[in-house]
Every structure is written in structure tokens, then in C-alpha cells.
């Protein structure tokens, strides 16, 4: 045990990386840590509404069991005793998984999703299920933005982003098919990471669009992101998008040597004109301060936002259409509208849009060879006022479509509200992206 004493009030401010070190040193117990988060949730969640299902007694019992194992000298896994939230489209055998839809109220999966089993194997304590929008699409849930309760937290990983941003949990899982991890991270002022497509298993996760769906997560530091994804990204033969290959440790990449200034390209996507003026002004000032000049995209990218929609909306029509047809009074008008639009696309259009994923990515390869990461906005501006919508994924969907890893860093503000800086990396080079992100975060401290 070290001589460091961490106050109870400070426990919910620790990053997961810091909490792990404190647990290893004997400065805190998991019961201390979990109790602090339970108190925070009790204090705040009536206002924020980040949790769909939460079990304080179960979490505290698991924390005490983890502490007992540590006292007995057992070898402890990487996330031992650290609480995590799980988006409510990811199956859990110990909690309902209701998919943000009254159609699935009370649904109880028989098995954990692959990533939940991986979390438990890593010693994590599942605090509960975080709120998702309806079927991880646009229909908002009850969650409010902790930075301003009158504003949306974004979607669809609303509860996960809000819970981490409001110090109710240090880590949380989300999912992204267009902008469902990155946009809420920007709005709530927290780090959100979507790895390369196929990096993490989707077995036991709601399927919206198989060519796009990706597990992502939220954290307070880039080291936390690396720790989390090192624990959940092992190969799963049950997910056809995954490749059986050894991934380098993301945490080791961050710790292996001093961080050096990355080569960054400033990209204005086709969505740039639709961004708020204050966001564009703040972003250009930020890139100017770093000495980053704009690198234009090829003209072929002008159609990319629509290509992403063709894939996503077609798959929504295919996967969610039968649900809406069977339950017309229990799904939102917006979802029915998108299903109808998705049904207008032909198989030829869908196939062409899928083919262009790799073709357009190939056009980016020269830029990705010259630069370590692309710098681009994470959202159109600060979180919109009101809870009737969750904002637009226009600044995110093209990178998801291109299967590239993305991260939103809480580096900008406008009017006291956060605006995320999105970094985008080459496929499979998630470690390089995190190193660039960690360097950029260090410059702001």
C-alpha cells in the first residue's frame, strides 16, 4: 500500500487508468470506488437520465468480491474492480436489454454479448445499462445533456456519453452506424472512440447495418480508451467482419515511448457548409494555432454522405421494417419514414454504394500516407437546444462508411459548451490515431 490517500469526493474524478493504479497500490478499494459512483448516480440521474437499468446492490457485491480476491493475492485482470456502463442495445444476461423501444420492453437475453463477456473476464463491474435512442437510431430517449439539461446529449449512445461526462461511470460502451458515438461525445464534452470497422465483436449486439455497425466507447482519457479496447477486442469467429489477427496493444503503444507531434491534415468534408458559424470559426482558429493547413478531398467525395445513407437506410428497411410492420403504433414516425425511404433504394444502388466504400478509401490513401491523422469537426456545433431530436451525424457518417477509426476530443468550446475535435486515422492503425490524440490532449493541459 502506498501512502497516498484519495478522498471520497475525488474518486469519481479519477480516470479508469488512474483508478487501476490506485487499486493496485492499495490506495482505494473497488467498494470505495463503486460506492462513490452509486452516490453520484443517486444524486444526479433523476436530472440526467443516463441509465435505463441500474443495480447498486449487485455492483457493490461484485466490488467487494473483487476486493477480497485482491486481498487474497490473486492475479487481477486489467479492469478488476472498475465500473463500466453498457449501452442498452448490447445484450446482458443479468440486465434487461430493451433496445430503446417499447416493442422490446422486458426483453431478457439468455447470454451476454461477446464484448460484455470480455468486460467481465477483464474484471469490470457492469453498473447497468445506459439509455439508447429507439433501436439505436433517431428516436430520443430520456437522457439530457449534463452540460446543459435543456439540450440533447446526442444519439444514439446518449446515456453512455452522458454518464461518463457527468462522472457517473469512468467507462461506457456505445455503438456507431453513422455518428452515434462521436456526436454525443462532442455534445457532452467527453472522449468518444470508434475503432476501425471489425475491430470489436458485434455478436449479441442489435444489428442495424452489418457493413457499418461498430462497437465504440467513452472515457475521460486516451489511456482509458486504450485500456478498454485492449480488453474487449479479441477475435470472435462469430462476427464475419473480424479478422483473425493479433492486434498490437493500444495501451502499450501509448506507453512505449514519448509522444511526438503528429502530422495532421485539416479536412473540410462536404458537411462543412452546414456547420454552425461559431463552430467553423473556433475550428479554423484551432487548426491555425497548430499550423495545420486545409487538405481538400477529391471531388469524388461530394456524394459520400448520400452513399452512406443508401447503405444504412437500406439495411434499416431490411432489419427494422418487419418490426415496424408488426408494431405500427409502437415505433416512431421518423423510423417509419426512414424505413420507407430505405425501401426505395434498389439492390443495384445498394451494391454500388457498398463497392464505393473501398474505392473512395483508396483515394484517401495518399493523404493517409503523408499524414498520421485527419483533423475535422465532430459535430455541426454545440448540442442543440431541446430533447425532441439528437442532432445530425453529417460530420461522422462518411468516416463510418469508410471503415476508419475516429475519436472525438473535448478541446473546443463555444458559449461555455463543448465542441469536439474529431481525429480520423487509417484503417487498422488505431494505435497511431490514439498516439496522435494523446499528444493533442497533452498540448491543451
Q: What are the grid coordinates assigned to 247, written together? A: 492486434
Q: What is the pLDDT of residue 257?
A: 86
Write out pLDDT tens, residues 407-440: 999 999 999 999 999 999 999 999 999 999 999 9
pLDDT averaged over every residue in the chain: 97
Q: Residue 278 corresponds to which cell in the numbers above?
A: 461559431
| Inside any domain, residue 72 | no
Residue 31 lies in a domain: no
Total residues found in the chain within this entry = 445
Q: What is the mean pLDDT of residues 26-49?
A: 98
Which three three-digit cell numbers place residue 317?
A: 428497411
3-state secondary structure the chain: CCCCCCCHHHHHHCCHHHHHHHHHHCCCCHHHHHHHHHHHHHHHHHHHCCEEEECHHHHHHHHHHHHHHHHCCCCCCCCCCCEEEEECCECCCCCCCCCCCHHHCCCCCCCCCHHHHHHHHCCCEEEEEECCCHHHCCCCCCCCECCECCECCCCCCHHHHHHHHCCCCCEEEEEECCCCCHHHHHHHCCEEEECCCCCCCCCCECCCCCCCCEEEEEECCHHHHHHHHHHHCCCCCCCCCCCCCCCCCHHHHHHCCCCCCCCEEECCCCCHHHCCHHHHHHHHHHHHHHCCCECCCCHHHHHHHHHHHHHHHHHHHHHHHHHHHHCCCCCCHHHHHHHHHHCCCCHHHHHHHHHHHHHHHHHHHHHHHHCCEEEEECCCCCCCECCCCCCCCCCCHHHHHCCCCEEEEEEEEECCEEEEEEEECCCCCHHHHHHHHHHHHHHCC
pLDDT at residue 225 above 70?
yes
Residue 7 in any domain: the answer is: no
- Segment 86-110 shows an average pLDDT of 98
Q: Strand pairing of 214-219 and 51-54?
A: unpaired
Q: Is 219:191 a contact under the CB 8 Å cutoff? A: yes
337-367: pLDDT as tens digits: 999 999 999 999 999 999 999 999 999 999 9
Sign of CA dihedral 51, 53, 58, 63: negative
Which is nearest to 126 in space by CA: 201, 58, 226? 58
What is the predicted pLDDT for the residue at 153?
98
Return d(Cα 120, Cα 204) in angstroms, integer: 15
* Predicted confidence band of residue 403 (pLDDT cuts 50, 70, 90): very high
Q: Which of 101, 117, 156, 158 is an active site residue?
A: 156
Cis peptide bond prior to 156, omega within 30° of 0: yes
* Contacts for 369 with CB less than 8 Å, ≥ 6 apart: none
Asked whether residue 390 is domain-assigned, the answer is yes
- Determine phi and psi for 171, rounding to 5 degrees: -140, 145
| Residue 109 near residue 93 (C-beta atoms within 8 A) | yes
Domain that holds residue 328: 83-234+245-445
Which one of 87, 129, 194, 356 is the catalytic residue? 87
Burial level of 276, CB count in 10 A (0-12/13-18/19+)?
Answer: middle
Q: How far apart are CA 386 and CA 166, in angstroms?
A: 19
- For residue 2, pLDDT beyond 60: no
35 annotated active-site: no
Q: Could you confirm whether 336 is annotated as catalytic? A: no
Cα 115 to its chain centre, rounded Å, is 14
Please say if 334 is a catalytic residue: no
Q: Is residue 383 part of a domain?
A: yes
pLDDT at 103: 98
Q: Which of 157, 158, 160, 180 is catalytic?
A: 180
Q: Kind of pairing, strands 406-414 and 191-194? A: antiparallel
What does residue 345 show for φ and ψ, rounded to 5 degrees? -80, 135
Return the pLDDT at 4: 58
Taking the C-alpha atoms of residue 2 and residue 160, their distance in angstroms, rounded to an integer, is 33
Read off the pLDDT of residues 308-339 as tens digits, 9 standing for 90 and up. 999 999 999 999 999 999 999 999 999 999 99
How remote is the C-alpha of 338 from its chain's centroid?
23
How confident is residue 8, by pLDDT bands cut at 50, 70 and 90? low
Q: Which three cell numbers stand for residue 441?
A: 490532449
Cβ atoms of residues 400 and 384 within 8 Å? no
Has residue 47 been placed in a domain?
A: no
CATH classification at residue 383: 3.90.1300.10
- Rounded Cα distance, 206 and 426, in Å: 26
Residue 1 has pLDDT above 80, yes or no: no
Do residues 262 and 288 make contact, with C-beta atoms less than 8 angstroms apart? no
Lowest mean pLDDT among 5-14, 16-25, 321-330, 418-427: 5-14
Residue 421 Ramachandran class (φ > 0 left, ψ -120 to 50 alpha, else beta): beta
Number of domains in the chain: 1
Does residue 445 carry a pLDDT above 70?
no
The reply to whether 96 falls in a domain is yes
For residues 244 and 234, give the distance between their C-alpha atoms in angstroms, rounded to a whole number.
Answer: 9
Residue 49 within any structural domain of the chain: no
Sign of CA dihedral 253, 377, 158, 175: negative
Tell me if 79 sits within 8 A of 124, measured CB to CB. yes
* Mean pLDDT calculated for residue range 160-181: 98
Q: Mean per-residue pLDDT for 181-189?
A: 98
Amino acid at each position: 500500500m502506498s501512502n497516498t490517500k484519495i478522498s471520497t469526493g475525488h474518486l469519481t474524478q479519477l480516470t479508469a487508468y488512474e483508478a487501476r493504479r490506485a487499486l493496485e497500490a492499495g490506495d482505494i478499494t473497488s467498494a470505495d470506488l463503486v460506492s462513490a459512483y452509486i452516490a453520484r448516480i443517486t444524486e444526479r440521474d433523476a436530472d440526467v437520465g443516463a441509465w435505463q437499468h441500474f443495480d447498486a446492490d449487485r455492483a457493490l457485491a461484485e466490488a467487494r468480491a473483487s476486493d477480497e480476491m485482491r486481498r487474497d493475492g490473486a492475479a487481477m485482470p486489467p479492469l478488476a474492480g472498475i465500473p463500466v456502463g453498457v449501452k442498452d442495445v448490447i445484450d446482458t444476461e443479468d440486465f434487461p436489454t430493451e433496445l430503446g423501444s417499447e416493442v422490446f420492453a422486458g426483453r431478457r437475453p439468455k447470454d451476454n454479448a461477446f464484448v460484455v463477456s470480455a468486460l467481465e473476464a477483464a474484471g469490470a463491474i457492469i453498473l447497468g445499462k445506459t439509455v439508447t435512442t429507439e433501436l439505436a437510431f433517431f428516436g430520443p430517449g430520456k437522457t439530457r445533456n449534463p452540460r446543459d439539461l435543456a439540450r440533447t446529449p446526442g444519439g444514439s449512445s446518449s446515456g453512455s456519453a452522458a454518464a461518463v461526462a457527468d462522472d457517473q461511470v469512468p467507462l461506457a460502451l456505445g455503438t456507431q452506424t453513422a455518428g452515434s458515438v462521436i456526436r454525443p461525445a462532442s455534445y457532452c464534452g467527453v472522449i468518444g472512440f470508434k475503432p476501425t470497422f471489425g475491430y470489436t465483436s458485434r455478436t449479441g449486439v442489435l444489428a442495424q447495418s452489418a457493413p457499418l455497425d461498430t462497437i465504440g466507447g467513452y472515457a475521460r482519457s486516451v489511456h482509458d480508451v486504450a485500456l478498454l479496447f485492449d480488453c474487449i477486442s479479441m477475435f470472435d469467429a462469430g462476427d464475419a467482419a473480424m479478422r483473425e489477427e493479433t492486434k498490437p496493444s493500444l495501451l502499450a503503444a501509448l506507453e512505449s515511448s514519448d509522444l511526438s507531434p503528429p502530422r495532421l491534415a485539416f479536412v473540410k468534408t462536404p458537411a462543412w457548409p452546414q456547420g454552425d458559424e461559431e463552430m467553423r470559426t473556433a475550428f479554423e482558429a484551432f487548426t491555425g494555432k497548430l499550423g495545420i493547413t486545409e487538405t481538400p478531398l477529391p471531388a469524388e467525395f461530394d456524394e459520400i454522405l448520400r452513399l452512406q445513407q443508401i447503405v444504412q437506410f437500406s439495411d434499416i428497411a431490411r432489419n427494422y421494417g418487419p418490426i415496424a410492420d408488426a408494431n405500427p403504433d409502437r415505433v416512431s414516425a421518423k423510423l417509419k419514414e426512414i424505413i420507407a425511404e430505405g425501401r426505395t433504394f434498389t439492390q443495384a444502388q445498394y451494391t454500388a454504394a457498398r463497392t464505393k466504400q473501398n474505392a473512395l478509401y483508396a483515394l484517401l490513401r495518399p493523404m493517409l500516407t503523408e499524414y498520421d491523422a485527419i483533423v475535422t469537426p465532430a459535430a455541426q456545433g454545440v448540442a442543440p437546444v431541446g430533447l425532441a431530436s439528437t442532432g445530425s451525424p453529417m460530420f461522422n457518417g462518411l468516416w463510418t462508411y469508410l471503415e476508419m477509426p475516429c475519436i472525438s476530443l473535448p478541446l473546443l468550446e463555444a458559449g461555455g459548451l463543448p465542441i469536439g475535435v474529431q481525429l480520423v486515422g487509417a484503417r487498422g492503425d488505431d494505435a497511431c490515431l490514439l498516439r496522435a490524440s494523446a499528444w493533442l490532449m497533452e498540448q491543451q493541459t
